[in-house]
Each structure stands twice: as C-alpha cells, then as structure tokens.
Amino acid sequence: MKIRRIGVLTAGGDCPGLNAVVRGVAKHALNCGIEVLGFKNGFDGLVKNQFIELDAKAVSGILTRGGTILGTSNLANPFNYTLPPIGSPEDPKDVSSLVLHTIKSNKVDALVTIGGDGTLSMSQKFIELGVPIVGVPKTIDNDLSATDFTFGFDSALSVATDAVDRIHTTAESHHRVMILETMGRYAGWIALRSCIAGGGDICLIPEIPYSEDAIVEAIESRQRKGKTFSIIVAAEGAVNEQGEMAVKSTIAGSTDPIRLGGISSKIAAMVEERLKVECRVVVLGHLQRGGTPTAFDRWLSTRFGTEAVELILQGKTGYMVALRGTEIVSVPVKDAVSKLKRVDPNGEEVRSALAVGTSFGSNKVGDKCGV
C-alpha cells in the first residue's frame, strides 16, 4: 500500500527530545512525499479530531526545544476516558471508536505514537484493533526493557548530576546532610547514575530496600572518618525493608495513577531526629523534564523518528524502534511493554558504586571488596 499520510502524537509526561522526534518523523516523511498530521495532546487529539499539519515550516527550529509543540496528556486514555464533558473519574468511557473514526476520516495510513509504557500499552490495544502503529520509546525513567536507552533520560540525568554537584558546596560549608530527590518511578536509573557521577554518599533506589538503621550507620561512619557532611540521592520510588514507598497522591483516570514523592522529607526527618544534625531537602521534580535536550538525546530522537518512518514505508507496523548498542532496531510493541527494566542489585553498576564507598542504605548488598 502506498503511504500518503501519517499521523504522529506525543503522549504521557513531557521530556526533552520530543520535538526532535516529531521533526525527524516529519522531515523524513515530507522528503518522501508523505503528508504528516500532528495530533494534539496525545490520544486526546484522536478522540476530538484535533490536529495540525506538520509541514516544513511547522517543524523548523524545534530540534533544540524542550517540551512538545503538539502538547501531551497522561490522562486521555481512550479505553478509560475520564475527561469532561465525555467522561469523568466516576464514569469513565471507552471512546476508542472515536479514535478509529478520526484515523479513517482523515485517511491516515499509519500512526507514530511517542511515549512511555502507558502510551505504548494503549498503542498495543489499537494495534490489536487493526491500526498500523509504530511506537517510539520516551521516558526519562529509562525503564523500558526493549531498548538500551530511551530519549529524555540523558537530559534528566544531566540535570540530576548537576544538582548533586551544586549541593556539595552547601553541604560541606554548613556541615549538613543534603538529600536530593530524583524522579524515576519504580526504577532507580536516574538516582544511581547521578549519585555515581556526582559523588553522592548514600543512594536509595527502589531495587534495594533501605533500612533507617543502615542509613544512620553510613552517616555515622563518615562522621568517624572526619567527614562533616553527607549527600543522599533518593529515587522517588525508593522503598524501605517493609516495602513501603512515599506516595504523594493518587490521580484517577491516569495511566499511572500513583504520584510518588516525599521520600526525601521522610528521610530528612528521621536523620534529624536520630542524629541531631541539620538536613536540607532538594526535590528536582519537573526540572528533570524541562529545557533543552542534550546532544545525545537529540541524536537519539532524530534517529528514532526517521527509523519510525522507515518501518512504515516497509509495512512493518506493530513495532517499536529501539537502541541496541549503537544500532537502531525494531521490536514488537507487545514485547516492549511486557517488562520494566530495573537496576540489578547485584549488577556491575551497583558493585562499582559500592567500590567507591557509596552506601545503598542496606546491609543486604555486598561490601566494597569484591562480594
């Protein structure tokens, strides 16, 4: 089938590199004589038939811009639609038929969906309904097992590492315990790598349950060695040995309703009470999602976008583009969302952190000397 028109959307949380993917998709398609429609605000644009034409002018100059010119949403799930006036959290609707109608009425031959596991899971449902879709993996959490890297992660990691660097001087000057809280949901990649790169002293990640006693012991050990400050990097999804994590709120209708947050304040209160030392908390939050993408993320996003169009031209839909080593490959979308990629507690990265003296707030991981 000759491809005459494709659609593209960005869904889920924003992150650096989204516009670079949109540009890569549009420029490659336009150079092949294919029209491109950009659907607004994720799947909501398909529900409401709202889009813009992505011509050469529309995508000019967006490579370095953060966010997404198309807008995005992590609430507009067509299979569980809770947005008024169509639905509500108390009365969600299945409006997938509206999406199918929009695709058919606009003569869209294939769709590129850019998003994380929630977006790709919805994409798989539409693939099963017969919609030709190619997925592009986006998440700052880097937690999709089918790809070595997702775009957005490197930019978020750079922000987090810079923050660790900057709080060093304040921690040392005031003899404080400084706690930096990163994003990452149920995977500890941002926290772990920024802690290693920034020289953090204690790293709390979801994959290694922490104990308050072990955190206190690690700080006291530094004090005995004459260290007057400590830096803790805590992933928002860090859990204690009882399996408890800090949940800030629950959002009905969202593809990921649990909003994590507050682990840093929890740890700070505990440390101040038990050690009588001053603690300060820095929550990076959405700073990790904003701003100009790094060179790596622009490079990766562009390659993902152009390869998505290549797959469409080859008739290879139902797949997601992925990075393996330095090569862009394709994997079935259903496989891409089947398993989260999480930090291996016994892996080389954890062992490397241990080797330079980093504590994980646990007495159950190996020591620094080859275990």
Show which residues are catalytic.
141
Tell me the CA end-to-end span of the chain in Å, nearest whole number: 57
Backbone angles phi, psi at 113, to 5 degrees: -110, 125
In what side-by-side order are the strands of the sheet with 133-137? 51-53, 35-39, 5-10, 110-115, 133-137, 319-324, 327-332
* Whole-number Å distance between alpha carbons of 366 and 345: 9
The phi-psi region of residue 199 (left if phi > 0; otherwise alpha if psi is between -120 and 50; otherwise beta) is left
Q: Report how far Cα 171 is from the mean position of its chain's Cα atoms.
A: 28
One-letter-per-residue 3-state SS of the chain: CCCCEEEEEECCCCCCCHHHHHHHHHHHHHHCCCEEEEECCCHHHHHHCCEEECCCCCCCCCCCCCCCCCCCCCCCCCCCECCCCCCECCECECCHHHHHHHHHHCCCCEEEEEECHHHHHHHHHHHHCCCCEEEEEECCCCCECCCCCCECHHHHHHHHHHHHHHHHHHHHHHCCEEEEEECCCCCCHHHHHHHHHHCCCEEECCCCCECHHHHHHHHHHHHHCCCCCEEEEEECCCEECCCCECEEEECCCCCCCEEECCHHHHHHHHHHHHHCCCEEEEECHHHHCCCCCCHHHHHHHHHHHHHHHHHHHCCCCCEEEEEECCEEEEEEHHHHCCCECCCCCCCHHHHHHHHCCCECCCCCCCCCCCC
* Whole-number Å distance between alpha carbons of 54 and 336: 28
